Amino acid sequence: MAKTLLTIVIISIMMQFFSKNSYSVEPEEFLQNLKQEIRARNITKNIRCLVCQNQSIDDSSAPLAKDLRTLIRIKVQENDTDKEIYKFLTDRYGDFILLKPPFKISTFLLWSLPFIFFIIGIFILFSHNKKSNKTLGKY
């Protein structure tokens, strides 16, 4: 019983791991014009899901992601440029909605904090190592 359950779990994890096309775009969302659909998909892959926060709206099945995908497809059908669509979304939701926000003064912390935390982590690791070596030397 446990072996069968373990096999099922491993197979399902492997399927998720190797599945590259796990998009959540529903069939009724597709545009009739193939060029417009490809353009819309390229845009939705660069927009962060505000519910999931670590997925693009193309991958998310959240209702807000579906609404944003629909909105983007409407803008594409209205012949808005990619730049206009991104500007509309960032004006409405801020730079956070972009999976790759631009580097500017307002996003400086967003870009620099990972490096700062990395340096702090190395400092803590070395100071902890130093203390451990001193206490080992006493024994």
User: Where do the structural domains in the chain lie, given as residue ranges?
Assistant: 20-127
Are residues 28 and 36 in contact, defined by beta-carbon separation less than 8 angstroms? Answer: no
Q: Phi and psi dihedrals of 46, rounded to 5? A: -100, 0
Q: What's 20-127's CATH class?
A: mainly alpha
Q: What's the pLDDT score for residue 36?
A: 86
Distance CA 51, CA 63 (A): 9
110-138 burial, b at 16+ Cβ within 10 Å, e below that, comes to eeeeeeeeeeeeeeeeeeeeeeeeeeeee
| pLDDT 10s digits, 70-100 | 999 999 999 999 999 999 999 999 888 998 8
Instruction: Quote the percentage of the chain above a pLDDT of 90.
Output: 40
Q: Phi and psi dihedrals of 30, rounded to 5? A: -60, 140
